[in-house]
Structure 1
Amino acid sequence: MSDLHALLGGTFDPIHFGHLRPVMALAQQTGLTRVTLLPNNVPPHRPQPEASATQRVDMLRCAIEQQPLFEIDTRELQRDTPSWTVATLEALRAECGEQQPLGFIIGQDSLLTLAKWHRWQDLLSLCHLLVCQRPGYPTEMETPAMQQWLDQHITHDLRQLHQQPAGCIWLADTPLYTISATEIRQRLHQNLSCDALLPAAVIAYINRVGLYRD
């Protein structure tokens, strides 16, 4: 099997176990050996992260220091325009060639609202979608047409993910974590412990630079 290369985008404000642990479980399930974290640039009309782009990348570095599975790609932070997933995937596809299997990791909540994404119909021509479960979300798509689209592309055959460059949807049986970055920031503002929610090295960094403090 060739090396399926997977990507995970996010604001990562801060990165936490709700990001890392489902992806590690997904990697074990699917034979992933490389996951690239893509911190998003947040466009001006959206709520801005509390941490700067540099701080968010520093926290990613702290989180993955002992995790050879992960690497970081900061290309979306170099742009002043919105981070359209499809544009990033087109750039990566141009770099890695037509035959490299690429997977884009999303949560179940994102799958259910995929029809709202910019040029969502192009995604499966560029990558596979690797979907992690999310607590409390339904498994049915919003419309019969979207459900039919999902049913057409779902695969239960791991070989397809590794042998085809794109085109499949894999519904992963990953652990459910109800952790949110918003909750973590609120807890930190209240000086409450977050030891169980994010890696110790990230907490040490947050404390060192005084992030998420009132």
Structure 2
Amino acid sequence: MPPHSSASPEKLLAFFGGTFDPIHYGHLKPVASLAQHAGFDQVILLPNNVPPHRPQPEANPQQRLHMVELAVAGNPLFSVDPRELCVDTPSYTIETLETLRKEHGEHCPLAFIIGQDSLLTLHRWHRWESLLNVCHLVVMARPGYQEQLDTPALQSWYDIHRATDAQQLKQNPAGFIYQVNTPLLDISATEIRERRHAGLDCSDLLPYAVERYIESQGLYRE
């Protein structure tokens, strides 16, 4: 096989993980905008089963998976990978991404989408230093968060790996950090759960099919 050449970009796959308890427009709309800007061929949603650093979800894994599938049904940009829901141990991003890298081969450009808040706390993630060995990081801007990382060493790491052109993501399998200012919606799953607990309407916050499923399952009711 000839050596990989940056002259012939390969298909760029992006992955977006989350608890999705429930999935909502604050997940879907910024990611769709980011995908258009960065030239993603596909965004694969990765629902977490046991998030290592967050409270456990209210909805069970099967319910959260079904909500994600309903939310993206008929949208060719999105697909769903349930692999993290098949294990009962904490979902560490680096381990999932290493498995995906083996499956897609060494030349396929892979990206992992995170928010600005996650970038600022990335150094607390399990084996975070290995992430750029297996993928790019694509960062969605978040309102109200600082732009500088906590230490000069972390800022230097960011500056070294920062990409200014989305084409760099397609021309390389991994190794870049690319930041995009996307339309940000002030929506959180916590807000949706709280509104449900209070008996308030959530129809403006998430897809109709997801709302109907939540109602049919009696989710997020005290």
Give the secondary structure class of the aligned counterpart of 1:124. Answer: helix
Quote how far apart the aligned CAs of 1:43 are. 5.5
Name the structure 2 match of 1:37.
Answer: 45
Label 1:4 to 1:55 Cα distance change in 2 as closer, same or farther (>3 A). same
The alignment status of 1:166 with 2:178, answered yes or no, reads no
After superposition, what is the alpha-carbon deviation per residue over 1:126-182, rounded to whole angstroms, capped at 9, x for unaligned? 000000011111111011110111011111122210010000000011012221101
TM-score between both structures, scaled by the size of structure 1: 0.97
For the 8 Å contact 1:39–1:57, the answer to whether it is kept is: yes
The whole-number CA distance in structure 2 between the counterparts of 1:99 and 1:44 is 30
Quote how far apart the aligned CAs of 1:44 are. 8.4
The whole-number CA distance in structure 1 between the counterparts of 2:220 and 2:71 is 17
- The runs of 4+ residues in structure 1 deviating greater than 6 Å are none
The alignment status of 1:72 with 2:70, answered yes or no, reads no
C-alpha RMSD of the superposition:
1.3
Given candidates 137, 144, 163, the residue that maps to 1:136 is 144
The whole-number CA distance in structure 2 between the counterparts of 1:166 and 1:104 is 10
After superposition, what is the alpha-carbon deviation per residue over 1:43-75, rounded to whole angstroms, capped at 9, x for unaligned? 689532110000000100110013111111111
Name the structure 1 match of 2:117.
Answer: 109
After superposition, what is the alpha-carbon deviation per residue over 1:115-135, rounded to whole angstroms, capped at 9, x for unaligned? 001000000000000000111
For the 8 Å contact 2:113–2:137, the answer to whether it is kept is: yes
For the 8 Å contact 2:72–2:78, the answer to whether it is kept is: yes
The whole-number CA distance in structure 1 between the counterparts of 2:51 and 2:74 is 31
Q: Any residues of structure 2 matched to 1:1-214 within 5 Å, and which? A: 1-42=9-50, 47-214=55-222
The whole-number CA distance in structure 2 between the counterparts of 1:145 and 1:177 is 32
Q: How many residues align?
A: 214
The whole-number CA distance in structure 2 between the counterparts of 1:43 and 1:34 is 24
After superposition, what is the alpha-carbon deviation per residue over 1:87-121, rounded to whole angstroms, capped at 9, x for unaligned? 00010000100000000000000000010010000
Deviates more, 1:165-174 or 1:65-74: 65-74
Give the secondary structure class of the aligned counterpart of 2:57. Answer: coil
Consecutive unaligned residues of structure 1, counting only runs of 5 or more, are none
User: What is the identity percentage for the equivalent residue pairs of Structure 1 and Structure 2?
Assistant: 59
Deviates more, 1:43-52 or 1:112-121: 43-52
The whole-number CA distance in structure 2 between the counterparts of 1:45 and 1:151 is 27
